[in-house]
């Protein structure tokens, strides 16, 4: 290494040092210490006492933890694919060359600028079973269907019924899908026009072009949104917390891993137990991301390779 190279490295390190220091102080240190505290009986105020795997064996026997885990998986399994499909469909529609395209794009992006807490407060009322707008739209529709088929469908009390609460949350979250739409839109600009043109010459219609050109070329972007969605969905906390007014929903239907972690850390004074939940959550997200990566190696098209 020459003297100049060494100097460049030093300067470079100096410039990124705020980030490096922050990374170690606010990411690495908490991560390592929470792994340690997950092996302790720890309530923040009194010093931690090492108890080995006790917190983890307790977790395994804790049915509320399993409820939270089940709810989290259900939410991810429903919200991630739905979110992706909706975002992708919107992006493809917003990519059509129509008048006022910019306005439509703005409209669909706007909700993602709303802070999550406001979004949740807003949807608390939209989803209200009696006076909510969602049911005001649904009721005439269901009435029409009931007349037609002789059924007895009624609109649910979204957030007050255990079996509907999670769907209410999923709608709320999908409303803020604008960020993913923007990323998809950016990806769509990268699809080479000449591919479409040659496909058109071969007689391909809209569906064929979407299926065989757009989606494969977009696959790295889909993958990116999928990973981000996965991480975000496993950590879902703020929106259900506000939707339920700081609780966990009817019959714990909106109790997620992050909610249970928060309750244990700050309501029940079981910081050690909360750390164990955090570690489990970390392992789950890590495993899912690695699985996705292994899958991506085979199925994702990178122009460079």
Partner 1 sequence: MSCAPRINQLSNNELFWLRFCFSIFILLIPLLVGCGSDSHAERERQGRVVLKYWDKWNGFEAEAMRGVVEDFNKSQDRIWVDFNSVSQIDRRLMLATAGGVPPDIAGVWGYSVPVYAENNALMPLDELAREKGIRAGDYIPAYWTLCNHVGHLWGLPSTPTTIALVYNKKLFREAGLDPDRPPQTIAELEEYNAKLTRRGADGRIERIGFLPEEPGWWNALWGYWWGADLVDGSKITARAPENTAAYEWLQTYPDRFGADKLVSFRDGFGNFASPQNPFFTGRVAMVLQGVWIFNFIKNYAPSDFEWGVAPFPSSGSGARDAVTLAECDMLVIPSGAKHPREAFEFIAYVNSQPVMERLCRGQLKFSPLAVCSDEFLDSHPHPHIREFLALAKSPNAKGYPRTAIWTSYEADMRNAVSRIWGGSATAGEALDDVQARQQKNLDRRIERWKRMEPALQKLWSKQ
263 binds partner 1, rule: CB under 8 A: yes
The residue from 104, 112, 122, 157 that contacts partner 1 (CB under 8 A) is 157
251 binds partner 1, rule: CB under 8 A: yes
Q: Mark residues 93-122: x for contact with partner 1 by CB under 8 A, - for none.
A: ------------------------------
Give the nearest distance from C-beta 181 to partner 1 in angstroms. Answer: 29
Dist. CA 30–CA 34, nearest whole Å: 6
- Torsion region of 80: left, alpha or beta (phi above 0 gives left; psi -120 to 50 gives alpha): alpha
Judged by DSSP in three states, 85 sits in: helix
179 binds partner 1, rule: CB under 8 A: no
Give the nearest distance from C-beta 253 to partner 1 in angstroms. Answer: 9
294 binds partner 1, rule: CB under 8 A: no
The first and second tokens of residue 172, run together, are: 């709320």
**DSSP codes joined into one string, 201-228:** HTT--HHHHIIIIIHHHHHHHHHHHHHH
Give the nearest distance from C-beta 270 to partner 1 in angstroms. Answer: 8
The residue from 44, 142, 174, 288 that contacts partner 1 (CB under 8 A) is 44
For 48-77, b/e burial (b = at least 16 CB within 10 A) is beeeeebbeeebeebeebebbbebbeebbe
- Do residues 178 and 112 make contact, with C-beta atoms less than 8 angstroms apart? yes
Complex with partner 1: residue 98 or 152, whichever CB lies closer:
152
* Residue whose entry in the numeric block shows the structure tokens 């190696």: 297
Complex with partner 1: residue 131 or 294, whichever CB lies closer:
131
Residues that bind partner 1 (CB under 8 A): 41, 43-46, 49, 63-64, 128-131, 157, 160-162, 247-248, 250-252, 263, 266-270
């Amino acid at each position: 290494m020459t003297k100049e190279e060494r100097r460049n490295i030093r300067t470079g390190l100096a410039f990124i040092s705020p980030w490096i220091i922050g990374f170690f102080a606010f990411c690495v240190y908490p991560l390592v210490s929470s792994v340690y505290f997950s092996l302790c009986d720890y309530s923040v105020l009194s010093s931690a006492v090492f108890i080995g795997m006790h917190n983890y064996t307790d977790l395994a026997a804790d049915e509320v933890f399993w409820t939270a885990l089940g709810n989290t998986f259900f939410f991810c399994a429903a919200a991630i694919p739905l979110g992706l499909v909706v975002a992708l469909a919107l992006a493809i529609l917003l990519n059509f060359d129509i008048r006022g395209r910019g306005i439509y794009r703005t409209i669909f992006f706007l909700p993602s600028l709303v802070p999550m807490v406001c979004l949740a407060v807003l949807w608390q009322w939209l989803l209200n079973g009696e006076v909510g707008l969602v049911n005001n739209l649904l009721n005439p529709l269901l009435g029409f269907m009931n007349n037609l088929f002789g059924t007895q469908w009624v609109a649910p009390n979204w957030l007050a019924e255990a079996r509907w609460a999670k769907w209410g949350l999923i709608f709320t979250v999908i409303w803020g899908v604008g960020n993913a739409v923007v990323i998809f839109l950016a990806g769509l600009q990268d699809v080479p026009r000449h591919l479409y043109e040659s496909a058109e010459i071969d007689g391909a219609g809209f569906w064929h072009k979407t299926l065989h050109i757009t989606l494969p070329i977009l696959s790295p972007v889909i993958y990116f949104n999928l990973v981000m969605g996965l991480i975000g969905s496993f950590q879902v906390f703020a929106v259900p917390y506000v939707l339920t007014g700081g609780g966990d929903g009817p019959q714990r239907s909106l109790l997620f891993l992050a909610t249970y972690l928060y309750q244990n850390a700050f309501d029940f004074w079981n910081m050690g137990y909360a750390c164990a939940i955090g570690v489990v959550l970390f392992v789950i997200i890590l495993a899912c991301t690695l699985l996705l990566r292994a899958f991506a190696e085979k199925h994702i098209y990178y122009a460079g390779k």
